[in-house]
Amino acid sequence: MMRAPQRETAKRSVMIAGHRTSVSLEAEFWEALQEIARGRGHSVQALIGAIDSGRGERNLSSAIRVYVLSAFRGTSEVSESPLTDRVGIGQGVQEPSGRVGEA
């Protein structure tokens, strides 16, 4: 049996509630997260903060993947209403190259 090719993951630094942390996701999930954020008029950083606040015991990368899957299925676990301002949200997402990307 052939195994599916491994997807490359991209690790990015994000600021959540005033603390910097790294998130590793496949490029396709980063792209989908950007698409969802754009469509809702939010930054990726704010969307990650909202996902983080509602993730419970699940690790952040897994919570983001489940959120993206739910959003594309139309069963998003996180409200589509405007996100409230939180400390550390709205700052840039650091790309692997070290530059700050659109958040």
CATH of the domain at 86: 1.10.3990
Q: What pLDDT score does 88 carry? A: 41
Interatomic CA distance for residues 2 and 22, integer angstroms:
32
Q: What pLDDT score does 99 carry? A: 47
- Residue 21 phi, psi (nearest 5): -145, 160
Other Cβ atoms closer than 10 A to 48:
26
In a domain, 42, yes or no: yes
Place of tokens 């070290």: 98
In a domain, 94, yes or no: yes
Q: What pLDDT score does 11 carry? A: 92
Q: What pLDDT score does 89 carry? A: 39
Q: What pLDDT score does 2 carry? A: 66
pTM beyond cutoff 0.85 = no
Q: What pLDDT score does 3 carry? A: 61
In a domain, 55, yes or no: yes
Number of domains composing the chain: 1
In a domain, 3, yes or no: no
Q: What is the extent of the structural domain holding 45?
A: 10-101
Positions in the chain whose pLDDT score sits under 70: 1-7, 76-103
